[in-house]
Structures are given as C-alpha cells and as structure tokens.
C-alpha cells in the first residue's frame, strides 16, 4: 500500500493552514484586546501594566513595561477626558508563529479632538496569559506627532516616574503641563552648602505650551511642582514650585503667563515644623487673596506666622 499521495496531501493541508487562527484562539485574543481597549480610562489604566511583556516594542522603540505604564498614566493626567474605541468593533487577526498580529482602527477622543489611527498589537501567551509584544500605529497614519503619542514627549527619555503637573497655565481653556529640568548633582550631602551640581544648582520650570517662557530658579537641585489653580482671576492656573532642602522647604508661587512671583517665597523650617503639606502653608482666602503660613524666628525661637497677601 502506498501512502505517499496521502502524506503529501496532509503536508499540504498543514502547510496552508499554519497561518490560520484557531477559532477558539481567535475568540480569546479578541476578548483580551477588547478588555485592553476598555482599560484605557483614567480609573482602569493601572490594570494595563499586566498586559505587557517586560520589554515591549512601543511605537517603534524598545521600552520596559514600567515605561509603557508611565506613558499611559501621563496620558490620562494630561487628558482626563481621553477615550478610545475600536472602530466598528472590527478586529483582524493573523497568526505569526507563536504570536498573533492584531490590526484594527483606533478611534480616539481627547481635548475636543477626534481622530482615527490604523493600529496594531502583537500578542502572545506567557504562563497561560496573553501579553503584548508590540504596540503601534502604521507608518502611513497621519498626525503621528499628536500629544497622545510617545514621540510628543521625546521618546522614553521623556518618561518620568515623577508626576508632571497638568493644568491650564496659559488660560486658553486647554490642558497643558509643567515639568522641571533639574540639575545633575555631583555630590549628595546633609547640608545645602556642600551640594555641587554640574553647571550650577539651578532648576528650570518648562511648559508644554511653548508660548509660556521657562522659569529659572537658582540654587535649587530638588523640587516638586503644584497646580495652585487660578489665584488672580486671569483665567490661567498658577504654578507652585517647592525648593526642597535637607532642613527646609520653600514654596515659590509663580504666575506662569508672566513668569513673575505673586508673593515672597514661603519658607518652612522642616527641622522644627515637620509634616506640613500645601494646605497648611497656602490657602486661597478670597478674591485675589491668599493666606500664607511660614516659619520665622521670634526671640530666638522658630514659630509659624500667617499673613494675607493681596494679589495684583
């Protein structure tokens, strides 16, 4: 008995079907992708981290899973109204060896903007769960410099694990953000005088809206930003800048539009007055008025005092 024709036929069938997706596998992949898409909300975005491999090709560059999660988090911080959906629920799947190539059109909405992007995921199973190997949009897609994509932040180098501060710092009704360029410290010490920085210990507040000028604060190597909301009624949020030292912290209140200080820096002696938060030292107390609380010496002792400041 000759089996050659049968074996040849069987081989041909297997060869032609190797790239076909098993219906059960396809159903599971679609379920995973739909859940991944549904998790793109401000509340659910922390769940996205577990969907990715340790290393991911993310919009053309190799990122860690933590960097991907940081980008997703910053996306929702900058655009709390961001949403996305798979256009017409159309998902196409192609088997590529051990992985699945998933293609779809992603409809996004943020900050009053709506757009469609031909998108893809590459998915495989690891320890019984689906994980994303690649995420991106096709190169021919338009407006790839939109602020929702990593390229708008300068790639993975622009991803920080410190939260940026978002708000409307120029008063145009649109969301933008402020961040700090900190100096590179050449030494770490318990006293301010012993700290040295490359090029000087100066920090620079920068804004995503390029109409706003950077603000340089001299003698600062560690800092934290605050959105102080609109204090002077000009429609733009003010930015707070904490200068953090080993034994003190000082709050600077800047008008982002004019780059000027709205009051004298608010100094807190943290060796005496510990665990004070923003609300303890700074409050809006009326129209164009703020109440500030600060550390000062009286008869050789450090005490807290409060003043009402009228803003111009």
Q: Model confidence over 242-296: pLDDT tens digits?
A: 998 888 999 999 999 999 999 999 999 999 998 888 889 999 988 889 999 999 9
| Residue ranges, CATH 3.10.450.50, the chain | 18-156
Q: How far is CA 34 from CA 27, 79, 104, 229, in A?
A: 11, 21, 11, 37
Q: How far is CA 195 from CA 187, 192, 203, 297, in A?
A: 6, 6, 14, 25
Note the pTM of the prediction, 2 decimals: 0.52
Q: What is d(CA 166, CA 18) in angstroms, rounded to the nearest whole number?
A: 49
- Give the pLDDT mean for 51-63: 89
Q: How far is CA 166 from CA 75, 177, 206, in A?
A: 11, 4, 12
Mean pLDDT (the chain, rounded): 84
pLDDT of residue 19: 47
If phi > 0 it is left, if psi is from -120 to 50 it is alpha, else beta; for residue 102 that is: beta
Q: What is d(CA 189, CA 86) in angstroms, rounded to the nearest whole number?
A: 52
pLDDT of residue 194: 65
pLDDT greater than 90 at residue 174: no
**CATH classification (class only), 18-156:** alpha beta
pLDDT-based confidence at 153, cuts 50/70/90?
Answer: low
Q: Model confidence over 72-105: pLDDT tens digits?
A: 887 887 888 899 999 999 999 999 888 999 999 9
Choice between 38 and 13, residue whose per-residue pLDDT is larger = 38
pLDDT of residue 22: 58
């Amino acid at each position: 008995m000759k089996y050659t024709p049968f074996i040849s036929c069987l081989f041909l069938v297997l060869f032609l079907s190797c790239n076909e997706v098993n219906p059960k596998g396809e159903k599971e992949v679609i379920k995973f992708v739909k859940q991944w898409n549904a998790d793109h909300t401000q509340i659910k975005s922390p769940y996205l981290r577990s969907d990715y491999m340790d290393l991911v090709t993310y919009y053309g560059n190799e990122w860690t899973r933590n960097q991907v999660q940081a980008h997703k988090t910053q996306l929702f911080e900058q655009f709390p109204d961001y949403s996305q959906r798979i256009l017409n629920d159309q998902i196409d799947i192609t088997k590529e060896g051990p992985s699945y190539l998933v293609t779809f059109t992603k409809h996004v909405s943020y900050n009053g903007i709506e757009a469609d992007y031909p998108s893809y995921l590459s998915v495989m199973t690891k320890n019984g769960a689906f994980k994303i190997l690649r995420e991106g949009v096709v190169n021919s897609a338009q407006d790839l410099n939109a602020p929702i994509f990593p390229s708008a932040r300068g790639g993975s180098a622009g991803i920080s694990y410190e939260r940026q501060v978002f708000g409307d710092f120029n008063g145009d009704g649109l969301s933008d953000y402020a961040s700090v360029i900190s100096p590179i410290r050449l030494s770490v010490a318990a006293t301010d005088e012993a700290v040295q920085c490359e090029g000087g210990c100066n920090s620079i507040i920068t804004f995503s809206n390029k109409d706003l000028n950077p603000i340089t604060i001299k003698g600062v190597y560690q800092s934290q930003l605050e959105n102080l909301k609109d204090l002077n009624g000009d429609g733009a949020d003010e930015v707070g800048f904490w200068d953090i030292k080993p034994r003190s912290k000082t709050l600077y209140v800047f008008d982002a539009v004019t780059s000027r200080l709205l009051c004298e820096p608010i100094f807190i002696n943290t060796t005496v007055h510990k665990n004070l938060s923003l609300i303890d030292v700074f409050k809006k107390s009326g129209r164009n008025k703020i109440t500030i609380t600060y550390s000062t010496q009286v008869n050789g002792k450090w005490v807290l005092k409060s003043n009402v400041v009228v803003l111009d």
